[in-house]
A and B are shown apart, each in its own frame.
Chain A
């Protein structure tokens, strides 16, 4: 079945440093979504990318969708303590399939 892996599993960074998490799917995705889960909370939707090679930005966050629509990345510039949490990618495998599979997640901790 479809597998969505993320690396790294954990990342500890000094406040102000950059952070990147990578997402790789075993199958082509119709779209890629990113979620953030704060400690003790539930995942919250951040953004969705649909087109091959698409890049979107949200303030300090930059999201990319790979040309083959099988990988994606999230880059945070100049991390802040509010960025702490686990970041998940997620995607639907192909058009018409409603199964939303999440990646394994990357837990980000910030050293003040």
Chain B
């Protein structure tokens, strides 16, 4: 069966520090991968998605970046965090052809 791992679960980082969040998927090949951000009590904002290794589509211009170094690995990064980067970050995967998405447990990031 397929599983998705996302870590860490919670993170407190100072302003200006770097960020690296990792997401891996098991049990499937060539999935679509997504990074979403959810502000407290708000909706899901699509940040990045990828349909293959090295292929990244960016939806929101900001100080975040994403990479897909391996087929089932998706990384969200920042060189310098801002206070506004605080939120709940969710990684998700789906098979191709408009299928449902499966989410990781999420990372609650607080920038202080």
Q: Which residues of A are at the interface with B, using a C-beta cutoff of 8 A?
A: 6, 30-31, 33, 35, 42-45, 48, 88, 90, 92, 95, 98-105, 107
The interface residues of chain A lying within 8 Å CB-to-CB of B42 are 104-105
Cα distance A50–B32 in the bound complex, in angstroms: 19
A-B contact pairs, 25 of them (CB 8 A): A31-B98, A35-B101, A42-B104, A43-B44, A43-B90, A44-B103, A45-B101, A45-B102, A88-B43, A90-B44, A90-B101, A92-B98, A95-B98, A98-B32, A98-B98, A99-B46, A99-B59, A100-B49, A100-B92, A101-B46, A102-B36, A103-B43, A104-B43, A105-B43, A107-B41
Taking the nearest CB of chain B, how far is it from the CB of A63, in angstroms?
A: 13
Any chain A CB within 8 A of the CB of B78? no
Taking the nearest CB of chain A, how far is it from the CB of B88, in angstroms?
A: 9
The interface residues of chain B, by DSSP majority, are classed as strand
Q: Which residues of B are at the interface with A, using a C-beta cutoff of 8 A?
A: 32, 34, 36, 41-44, 46, 49, 51, 57, 59, 90, 92, 94, 96, 98, 100-106
Q: Are A30 and B98 in contact (CB under 8 A)?
A: yes
Cα distance A41–B42 in the bound complex, in angstroms: 13
Taking the nearest CB of chain B, how far is it from the CB of A45, in angstroms?
A: 4
Q: Are A98 and B100 in contact (CB under 8 A)?
A: no
Cα distance A91–B8 in the bound complex, in angstroms: 28
Residue of A33, A88, A95 contacting most chain B CB atoms (<10 Å):
A33
- Known contacts A100-B101, A103-B43; 17 further A-B pairs (Cβ under 8 A): A6-B43, A33-B101, A42-B90, A45-B100, A45-B101, A45-B102, A88-B43, A88-B44, A90-B101, A92-B98, A95-B98, A98-B49, A99-B46, A99-B57, A100-B34, A101-B46, A102-B36
The interface residues of chain A lying within 8 Å CB-to-CB of B36 are 102
Taking the nearest CB of chain B, how far is it from the CB of A32, in angstroms?
A: 10
Cα distance A57–B22 in the bound complex, in angstroms: 37
Cα distance A33–B98 in the bound complex, in angstroms: 10
